Chains A and B, each alone.
Chain A
Amino acid sequence: MPSLRPLLATLALASVALAAQAEDVEALLVIKNHRFEPAELKVPAGQRVKLTVHNQDTTPEEFESKSLKREKVVPAGAKITVFIGPLKPGRYDVFGEYHEDTAKGSVVAE
């Protein structure tokens, strides 16, 4: 893919440079007993957020959100990072794919 690779590399470098400048807002979401805590996480709109997901259960979970376009496995006991946003104000549903009946939550950007 001769045309896209240099472009992607440039984009990646540029965004790393940008990321280093801008201070990301940090937020924490805990998974416990196959539920999200808090069930409703408030984050600022219009800013990129560094979201830490901490799985305190003894089984893995997959943190997933269609509207945030994120999908990531969180092994038992692990803490992972997912970058989200900048978001428009609104409610974004998140769920745990491995325990979909209980692990439901939302990220509210305001």
Chain B
Amino acid sequence: MFATALIVFRESLEAALFVGIIAAATQHLAGRIRWLSGGVAAGALGAVLLALAARTLSEALDGIGQDLVNIGVLTLALLMLLWHCIWVSNHTREMVAEAKFLGHEVQSGQRRPWALMVAVALAVLREGAETVLFVSGSLSGSEAPVAQVVLSGALGLGLGVAAGAVIYAGLARVPTRHIFSVTNTLIALLAASLASQLVRALVQAGLLNLGTETLWDSSWLLTQESALGTLLHALVGYDAQPMAVQGLAYVATLAAIYLGSRALRRGHPAPAPVAVAAPR
């Protein structure tokens, strides 16, 4: 009973935390609930389709079909987050500052945050497909009564969603002037985590064969299955036994975001300090 709930919780946690962070990052946008729900719904639909095709996909391309789909999804999600971190967030920062300066509603000048919506859909798709496969497998297997599987699955999903709500509520209390820095840092860490997972998927599929030696082993200190380990894995990509190439991808992603943002800001000096001082 609790095994099912635990597995569904683990699978849904990552996507739920992701959605919670994105919801907090876009709280200044009008109509974001619609866009977020759309992303989640599209991801959930995709997850069901992916789970239906799982058998065929798994055996495709000499047994690595599933990895290739995973690699594609991770790459696209990573690109969306990089696009957001480097370009959109700097652009938004300027627009918010300008809007404050001009006394406009911030909402009026915003575009639709499509990159984040796609990233949300992909996160739900990735974690959701495994959940659907697992739950449908438990339902078809004769191991446990249907009601029990459904109930414990719902319990696990509920706990995952609750974790997402908790992080959203926490971030919603961050003062407005800090919220961009906080959510941008979290999204940058999520991007680095995706890059690390992407590299791991490439190695698993036999497409990348370099730097596979273990970088460190901190499983004596904090295993990935522990509650804190699971949470840190979902939030910042904690890995108890990462490969060297995963560490490289992680650091390179953070560096690319940092350098990219700096280059953009140098091009357009941020009007933020002026805007904060101006209303007085």
Contact = CB atoms under 8 A, between A and B. Distances in A.
A14 B243 CA distance: 18
Interface in B142-176: 143
11 contacts: A58-B141, A59-B141, A66-B240, A69-B200, A69-B203, A75-B133, A80-B59, A80-B63, A83-B206, A97-B7, A98-B7
A17 B153 CA distance: 44
A59 B204 contact: no
B137 interface: yes
A25 interface: no
Contact of A69 (B78, B205, B207, B243): B243
A83 B59 contact: no
Interface of A: 1-4, 7-8, 11-12, 14-16, 18-19, 24, 48, 50, 52, 58-60, 62, 66-67, 69-83, 86, 97-98, 100
Interface residues of B, number: 52
Contacts, number: 118
Interface of B: 3, 7, 54-55, 58-59, 62-64, 66-67, 78-79, 82, 130, 133-134, 137-138, 140-141, 143, 195, 199-200, 202-210, 212, 214, 219, 223-225, 240-243, 245, 249, 252-253, 255-256, 259-260
B204 A58 contact: no
Contacts of B3: 100
B207 A80 contact: no
Given A3-B259, A66-B225, A69-B241, 11 more contacts: A3-B252, A15-B209, A19-B206, A59-B137, A59-B138, A59-B140, A60-B133, A66-B223, A72-B204, A83-B205, A83-B206
